[in-house]
Amino acid sequence: MAGKDCSGRVALITGVTGQDGAYLAEYLLGLGYTVHGIKRRSSSFNTGRVDHLYQDPHEGNVPFLLHHGDMTDSTNLIRLVQQIRPDEIYNLAAQSHVGVSFESPEYTANADALGVLRLLEAIRILGMEKQTRFYQASTSELYGLVQEIPQRETTPFYPRSPYGCAKLYGYWITVNYREAYGMFACNGILFNHESPIRGETFVTRKITRGVARIEAGLEEAIYLGNLEAKRDWGHARDYVEGMHRILQADVPDDFVLATGETHSVRELVELAFAEVDRRIEWRGEGVEETGIDCRSGKAVVRIDPNYFRPTEVDLLIGDCSKARDKLGWTPKTSFAQLVKEMVASDLVAARREAARGSNTL
């Protein structure tokens, strides 16, 4: 699909200010799309991930436009779909933090479950069922408690968090609108995907940023929860290409996007520290466990029970053979390359911050 001329096509991305939204907007602009994105009103700037794509609309015909909106406001969504009349909608907006969903379950359900319904209804109310293709950001969190390994499109779901339960509704309402109204509505069941612009509270970025800040002398230790959880981690840049391919298929369907490899949080810690030539030795048990940096002899990883979840997803490993066979999609970035790129990017930021700090002394 890369390189295909899509000039004149119009996409609407919800959640455009997030990690995936930013990568997808850039990818679609590169294909010639006009891209409209929905951002939330915020008291501070929240468009840092897409500022490089933005041009002042006063300059005339610009291909990237931002609109205020919210997944909890159907009037807003209907009006935007009516104004923009998109060929493709990518619904990426969500309260996407699994841990936070235990603290804000109702809001998570409102945005992540009912939000999907609101958007599908907007398409239907406006009579655009045959005109607008719809992508729903579904997730490997649907699999939750292990039923089958590796997890594929036919694996039964067993969500383990308010986030997973909300996304389960989003998944099925998308399937239902496809079957009930003949809409081109698809789920991408994406396994974890990360990047240098991953939110700082997700475990990969928390670790790579922590490693960089320890190396730059800005922090002493990283506080983590469950080190044994295993995830199938890929690169967001590869996955947004898969989202686009899902909407270019001949028939609407649901697809797993994954790498087929799994690693524990503990392995991720070790690999990230190895990027700055530090070897970690583990001492103690349970919440007393620490990761000692063999170079300095200091505890650079500590356990904080607050980061454990009431119910955990222990093991995710996906089988993307359907996407490979039907869409020609495969991930390009290895786990080691991903961690290397993230640590390198965080090191640049941490060293810059450290230099700024020492300049002010």
Cα 7 to chain centroid distance, Å, stands at 26
Please identify which residue in the block is written with the tokens 């998109």.
86
C-beta separation of 252 from 181 below 8 A? no
Whether 288 is a known active-site residue: answer: no
Instruction: Pick the piece of the chain touching ligand GDR (CB under 6 A) from 75-83, 139-147, 151-159, 276-284.
Output: 139-147
Site residues for ligand NDP, window 74-103 (CB under 6 A)? 92-96
Angstrom distance (rounded) from CA 143 to CA 149? 10
C-beta separation of 82 from 126 below 8 A? yes
Instruction: Note whether 208 binds ligand NDP by CB under 6 A.
Output: no
Helical ranges in 189-259 per DSSP H:
203-215, 236-248
Angstrom distance (rounded) from CA 261 to CA 230? 10
What is the identity of the amino acid at 106?
E
The DSSP code for 305 is G
- Residue 205 Cβ vs ligand GDR, minimum distance, rounded to whole Å: 8
Q: Which residue lies nearer to ligand GDR by CB, 148 or 179?
A: 148
Instruction: Note whether 18 binds ligand NDP by CB under 6 A.
Output: yes
Angstrom distance (rounded) from CA 181 to CA 121? 11
For ligand GDR, the binding residue among 96, 108, 155, 333 (CB under 6 A) is 96
Residue 226: which of ligand NDP, ligand GDR, none does it interact with, CB under 5 to 8 A by kind? ligand GDR
Angstrom distance (rounded) from CA 215 to CA 96? 29
Q: Degrees (nearest 5) of the Cα angle 281, 306, 104? A: 140
Instruction: Note whether 118 binds ligand GDR by CB under 6 A.
Output: no
Whether 141 is a known active-site residue: answer: yes
Instruction: Note whether 205 binds ligand NDP by CB under 6 A.
Output: no
Catalytic: which of 141, 194, 215, 270?
A: 141
Instruction: Note whether 174 binds ligand NDP by CB under 6 A.
Output: no
For ligand GDR, the binding residue among 119, 214, 224, 342 (CB under 6 A) is 224
Contact characters 169-198, ligand GDR, x per CB under 6 A = ----------------------xx------
Please identify which residue in the block is written with the tokens 């790129």.
341
Instruction: Note whether 229 binds ligand GDR by CB under 6 A.
Output: yes
Phi, psi of 13 (to 5 degrees): -115, 120
Catalytic: which of 163, 171, 177, 239?
A: 163
Whether 163 is a known active-site residue: answer: yes
Token pair in block for residue 273: 């520290």
Contacts of 24 (CB under 8 A, 6+ apart): 13, 16, 90, 92, 240, 243, 244
Q: How far is CA 180 from CA 132, 154, 166, 173, in A?
A: 15, 21, 21, 10
Q: Residue 94: CA atoms inside 13 Å, Cβ hemisphere, count?
A: 30
Instruction: Note whether 21 binds ligand NDP by CB under 6 A.
Output: yes
Q: Which residue lies nearer to ligand GDR by CB, 122 or 165?
A: 165
Token pair in block for residue 267: 């392995």
Instruction: Note whether 225 binds ligand GDR by CB under 6 A.
Output: yes
Q: Which residues pair with 132 in a beta bridge?
A: none
Angstrom distance (rounded) from CA 266 to CA 230? 9
Residue 19: which of ligand GDR, ligand NDP, none does it interact with, CB under 5 to 8 A by kind? ligand NDP
Instruction: Note whether 71 binds ligand NDP by CB under 6 A.
Output: yes
- Residue 217 Cβ vs ligand NDP, minimum distance, rounded to whole Å: 29
Residue 17: which of ligand NDP, ligand GDR, none does it interact with, CB under 5 to 8 A by kind? ligand NDP
Instruction: Note whether 99 binds ligand GDR by CB under 6 A.
Output: yes
Which residues would be at the binding site for ligand GDR (CB under 6 A)? 96, 98-99, 139-141, 191-192, 201-204, 206, 224-226, 229, 231, 265, 307, 309, 312
Catalytic residues: 139, 141, 163
Which residues would be at the binding site for ligand NDP (CB under 6 A)? 14-15, 17-21, 38, 40, 42, 46, 70-72, 92-96, 111, 137, 139, 190, 192-193, 199
